[in-house]
Structure 1
Amino acid sequence: MSHSVTFRNLTKKYGDNTAVDGIDFSIKEGEFFTILGPSGCGKTTLLRMIAGFNSIEDGQILFDDRVMNEIPAYQRNIGMVFQNYAIFPHMTIQKNVAYGLKARKLPKAEIADRVGDMLKLMHIEKYRDRDPSQLSGGQQQRVALARALVIHPTILLMDEPLSNLDAKLRIDMRIAIKKIQKDLNITTIYVTHDQEEALAMSDRIAVMNAGIVEQIGTPQEIYSKPATAFVAGFIGTTNFLDGTLIAVDGSATTGTAEPGKPVAVDIKGVGTIPVGARKSTTGDVRLAVRPEDIHLTEPGEGEPQGRVALVTFLGDYISYEIELGGGQTVEVNEYAKDTAVLRAVGDRVGVRFNLGKLHLYRHGEGEAIV
């Protein structure tokens, strides 16, 4: 059995610093939900509030329909996996996994059955009599996960659990964790600053910044339709170009562009790019576009012009840094299967934007317009 988790105007302060600022959203039962953001954004504070380790200044946390604010941590039936594993070094693997069950005073036979099943699920049964020091980092992380799950928690909390592993092992472990989570259908709340981890593992993601939630959505929604300039810049690689909103006839806009009406952005050194406003705005804006949504052409084809400043070969694609006019640069990814032309540093190129993939944000506040 798992729980849904709901936050109602949840707030946490440390002196004058507001770590979690009026958060309101729900996590579904059985969902793999990731809280993603940079260091200091409040994501670990929020996780500790769910666990009952941190007090609540205002608002509520609910498991299903039950308010948990005053429920002590040991009564919440939560499993938790930490960044540093927190495995007892003086206990064998078997005893580490059994620790929580012994604390609950379960019968010995039931403890033995549950521990055996969990060691098999984690593919570490052959290490049951070893000390943690005899295991690799990935194996130790499986022990930590087994110990968290063997108590049959209704919610699993994971705080940067893969950050101490090497790149290949991180990929292997995130696949293993996702499979186990789906098999057990346990509500899982996962904290990370690693955007790739979040995109690969999550059913939904909440992107946090300075104590607030900037956007909640599926990995596809977060990547393809970032709601703010912060989300666009934090998830994946994004090129930002500063410009000014103008009317379609090319005259400077002095009034307000109406939603749905065609307008354009004048980008210094690049030229005019047509867009369609979704929200009313005027004046300075920021245009965002992913490297895979820019295409290089031969110069002189009526496209904005640039110069290749850097070429980086990355296996299945080549990354180019292109210097545009006006001191602005963009990163462009060209996949080997799509082009037979290898550009060299110093080459002049045309730059073509995929107009259907552009995002436009108000300058300063960063709210999406397109």
Structure 2
Amino acid sequence: MSASAKPFSFKLIKTDGMARRGEISTPHGTVQTPAFMPVGTQATVKAMFMDDVEQTGAEVVLGNTYHLMLRPTAERVDRLGGLHKFMNWPHTILTDSGGFQVMSLAQLRKLDEDGVKFQSHIDGQRYHLTPERSIEIQGLLGSDIQMQLDECIKLPSPPEEVKRAMELSLRWAERSRRQFETMGGPGKGQGLYGIVQGGDVPDLRIRSAEELGKMPFEGYSVGGLAVGEPQDVMLRMLDITTPVMPVDKPRYLMGVGTPDDLLESVKRGIDQFDCVMPTRAGRHGLAYTRFGKVNLKNARHADDPRPLDEEAACPATSTYSRAYLHHLVRCGEGLAAMLLTWNNIAYYQTLMKGMRDAIEAGTFEAFYQKTKEDWARGDIAAL
């Protein structure tokens, strides 16, 4: 362990039913869980200053291995002092493995036991991503939490294909762990998460979770959901997966999701989330609020002097009128994306804090029910 590196750790503070209140410690700070991680795909949370991301209450952001390996390259980021310095974010960073983007974005993919060969969606240049190379890239970026390389397939898929991908991901998990230890990740205070696969096949999900639990990962993720399946399928997989995941390690549901997805998944024992939804929605004129979703493209807002929510702490939410936001959206002004993304990230963080406080107080079920009722009822005049 480096003299200056704080070791990676997870402390489970309180449970309320299956919901968990915890704390992740990394060399770049402490993350209160359940936590939502804004997605900073290309070393930026789109349309936001990192200072404003911090002000929303976010304590960790996500960077993307696939995009950063293509440009500016992990080696360049390393020469420039690492990803924290490069993007001016002094707090915890999680990087994904790049596997999902290879499957969804890259051209002419060829996957085998060794890894995956593909052409960049940017310029057609050829690359070869293996479990070892993915961990090497994440090590060069200097992220605090790193992910094994896995194969993420779309749902629905034939059970035999789901089984093949799950078993390959288990073998890649072992190789990823060996590379992580070879690169000295534990000594730098970094953590590596294994990824549970198995599609929508319960037996495969359980087997994947049990096998990964035998490996010495610092955390465990549920992958391969939010890939086109209905919410009830995702929740059913969580119902059978989280009970067999290690209790003393953080649990991360990848790529999820809507505010309702977060609420339902915390109820089932998930600690960490990421999703592009709040930033993407902000760029398309959609605001998330405690009243529900507000579509600022709608002409009904053109003469509305009220803010999105005058009681919110976020300035984007409480100080700009709906009429002004509507005007910005209709004109295609960049400020519209900035303000609505700011609002959305702030709302997600407020929701997560509400869940943390409720779990700690032993009132999560009441919080769950009230939040559901507020969304269902909404504020019709406000929407």
Normalised by the length of structure 2, the TM-score is 0.34
More contact order relative to length (CA 8 Å, sep ≥ 6): 2
Determine which structure has the larger strand proportion and give its number.
1
Which of the two has higher C-alpha Rg?
Answer: 1
